[in-house]
A and B are shown apart, each in its own frame.
Chain A
């Protein structure tokens, strides 16, 4: 349904996204996960035809977002991060207007507007001016706006931002209910949100896709251990045995043991621990030379960790 190939976009000297490629099947719910400023919104804006890409192609329902923008826009419901609502209109009038410009036929328009309001639970405020609505209601009006013409593809930028926990649950349930009939891409920087709503996750960091998998697989990978790389000058066997005895060490593997008396090791410990101090002390106390000690670069985990720390603040 959505096919993105080598998409890049520059803003002046800043590369917002670089060489992003992914595919989304019909009826799938896919989550864009990444910290703020990762390029989620830029990718979505290109898909919706709001801004063109610098290079690369993107197709929605077989239409190129650049060449056949109007065809793509007919098939997309888009909710930007800030709900694009006109404060001086009532909910009714606003959704009617959106339905009109989305090309909904006059005969079914009223019905479609009613359905959309029903789906997101704003029927009770339909006669109110949007400027008098709370943030949560405005967010839902924004969601109704994306749904009103029954689009094949829904693109939701941070759909739960600014909602209270109860509303967040409702919106998540709503999005889950859209699976099958609609293809959904939603962006979020909240890890559990994707595991709750999405069938597949695309993790974006600094403008690049760093991982793409099901939420379960990614969580399993996240639970992996801390790893340190060490290079020690000393007898390989003794070093390994001694370090194995350091409390907290789960596993040691010898990467390289040259004849010159140096040994390179990878030390694993459980997630969240830092054994560098203990390991260094042990090596020095034994009179060996510590040539290197560094944590293994784990970009995916880094991203996740970032997300997890942010999530703790909003966890309920």
Chain B
């Protein structure tokens, strides 16, 4: 436990003492902010138009659902932005240590490979949590000017957290395969994008294959969270995805040891 905490502490400090954390958080917030603005203005315009129409026909002005029309697309957008930014968070975790040789210190110290792995992964999760928490500010604006439902927002954030956790687990894996951070980030991005879009081909293949592919799609499982539904099958899916990523990382580190590669 102490070893895990020491690794975690060092990684978190290393994020926040270097510009990396601030740059990633800044751009994530900036891009999310712009889209939040666009979605919200669109929503405002729509409700304005609906109110005007209602007045024309002397009807009650309709109440548009802000959860469905603004928050849900916003959550989906954030899931996409996380796909762009999270590979940048994980790319250095192993690759940099391999490049500078510090991995030799970790691997010859009385800490197990899994303690190192979990420490690094948790550090990335901490950074991601900070990123997500800061976007919650946008939601607070909605509460000031409207009456959104809190439940679906929270379930959406839980979904984002799990989805991002899956990105990070595989980011860690790809970082453990190379000493080049660019390669680590690019392969993470490509891999996650593949698992993101895998469900889209379901229309072109037979129904049974399509259902399987859809099941593997990272984003399909997110939809229910965004709607406000917390289903254990989605939680299990994300957790197994995370476990798979971490397990592969462990295997990759062990194999590097045996091969004597860095």
Which B residues from 239 to 262 make CB contacts under 8 A with A?
A: 257-260
- Nearest Cβ on chain B to A316's Cβ, whole angstroms: 28
Q: Which of the candidate stretches A95-103, A210-218, A219-227 sits at the interface with the other chain?
A: A95-103
- Nearest Cβ on chain A to B116's Cβ, whole angstroms: 9
- Report A-chain residues with C-beta under 8 Å of the C-beta of B2: 100, 103
Q: Which of B10, B13, B103, B260 has the most CB of A within 10 A?
A: B260
- Report A-chain residues with C-beta under 8 Å of the C-beta of B112: 70
B109 and A9 form a contact (CB under 8 A): no
- Nearest Cβ on chain B to A83's Cβ, whole angstroms: 8
B108 and A78 form a contact (CB under 8 A): yes
- Report A-chain residues with C-beta under 8 Å of the C-beta of B110: 70-71, 73-74, 101-103
B102 and A84 form a contact (CB under 8 A): yes
Of the candidates A52, A76, A84, A97, the one whose C-beta lies within 8 Å of that of B100 is A84
A101 and B7 form a contact (CB under 8 A): yes
Q: Which of B102, B108, B258 has the most CB of A within 10 A?
A: B108
- Nearest Cβ on chain A to B257's Cβ, whole angstroms: 6
Q: Is A31 an interface residue (CB 8 A)?
A: no
B108 and A76 form a contact (CB under 8 A): yes
A86 and B102 form a contact (CB under 8 A): yes
Q: Is B104 an interface residue (CB 8 A)?
A: yes
Q: How many A-B residue pairs have CB under 8 A?
A: 75
B109 and A51 form a contact (CB under 8 A): no
B7 and A48 form a contact (CB under 8 A): no
Q: Is B69 an interface residue (CB 8 A)?
A: no
A73 and B260 form a contact (CB under 8 A): no
B6 and A97 form a contact (CB under 8 A): yes
A52 and B258 form a contact (CB under 8 A): yes
Q: Which of B100, B102, B109 has the most CB of A within 10 A?
A: B109
Q: Is B106 an interface residue (CB 8 A)?
A: yes
- Report B-chain residues with C-beta under 8 Å of the C-beta of A73: 108-110
Q: Is B65 an interface residue (CB 8 A)?
A: no
Interface string of A17-46 (1 = CB under 8 A from B): 000000000000000000000000010010
B14 and A86 form a contact (CB under 8 A): yes
- Nearest Cβ on chain A to B119's Cβ, whole angstroms: 10
A50 and B107 form a contact (CB under 8 A): yes
Q: Is B17 an interface residue (CB 8 A)?
A: yes
Q: Is B105 an interface residue (CB 8 A)?
A: yes
Q: Is A251 an interface residue (CB 8 A)?
A: no
- Nearest Cβ on chain B to A101's Cβ, whole angstroms: 5
Of the candidates B18, B101, B104, B106, the one whose C-beta lies within 8 Å of that of A101 is B106
- Nearest Cβ on chain B to A118's Cβ, whole angstroms: 21
Interface string of A108-138 (1 = CB under 8 A from B): 0000000000000000000000000000000
Query: Would A50 and B104 be within 8 Å (CB), given that A100-B2, A101-B110, A103-B110 are in contact?
Result: yes
- Nearest Cβ on chain A to B60's Cβ, whole angstroms: 61
- Report A-chain residues with C-beta under 8 Å of the C-beta of B109: 73, 98, 101-102
Residue of B nearest to A76 (CB): B108
Q: Which of B10, B17, B106, B258 has the most CB of A within 10 A?
A: B10
Interface string of A227-254 (1 = CB under 8 A from B): 0000000000000000000000000000
Q: Is A85 an interface residue (CB 8 A)?
A: yes
Query: Would A49 and B101 be within 8 Å (CB), given that A88-B18, A101-B3 are in contact?
Result: no
A88 and B17 form a contact (CB under 8 A): yes
A86, B13: Cα distance in complex, Å: 12
- Report B-chain residues with C-beta under 8 Å of the C-beta of A52: 257-258
- Report B-chain residues with C-beta under 8 Å of the C-beta of A299: none
Q: Is B52 an interface residue (CB 8 A)?
A: no
- Report B-chain residues with C-beta under 8 Å of the C-beta of A89: 10, 13-14
A101, B112: Cα distance in complex, Å: 10
Q: Is A87 an interface residue (CB 8 A)?
A: yes
Q: Is B111 an interface residue (CB 8 A)?
A: yes
- Nearest Cβ on chain A to B102's Cβ, whole angstroms: 4
Q: Is A145 an interface residue (CB 8 A)?
A: yes
Q: Which of B3, B100, B110, B111 has the most CB of A within 10 A?
A: B110
- Report B-chain residues with C-beta under 8 Å of the C-beta of A85: 100, 102
Residue of A nearest to B119 (CB): A101
Residue of B nearest to A9 (CB): B260
A80 and B258 form a contact (CB under 8 A): no
Residue of A nearest to B111 (CB): A101
Q: Which of B13, B100, B104 has the most CB of A within 10 A?
A: B104
A87 and B100 form a contact (CB under 8 A): yes
- Nearest Cβ on chain B to A82's Cβ, whole angstroms: 4
- Report A-chain residues with C-beta under 8 Å of the C-beta of B107: 49-50
Residue of A nearest to B112 (CB): A70
A-B pairs with the 9 shortest C-beta distances? A84-B105, A100-B6, A48-B108, A73-B110, A74-B110, A84-B102, A82-B101, A51-B260, A101-B109
Besides A88-B18, A101-B110, 4 more A-B contacts (Cβ < 8 Å) are A50-B257, A51-B258, A52-B258, A74-B110
A-B contact pairs, 10 of them (CB 8 A): A73-B108, A73-B110, A84-B100, A84-B103, A88-B14, A88-B18, A98-B105, A100-B6, A101-B109, A101-B111
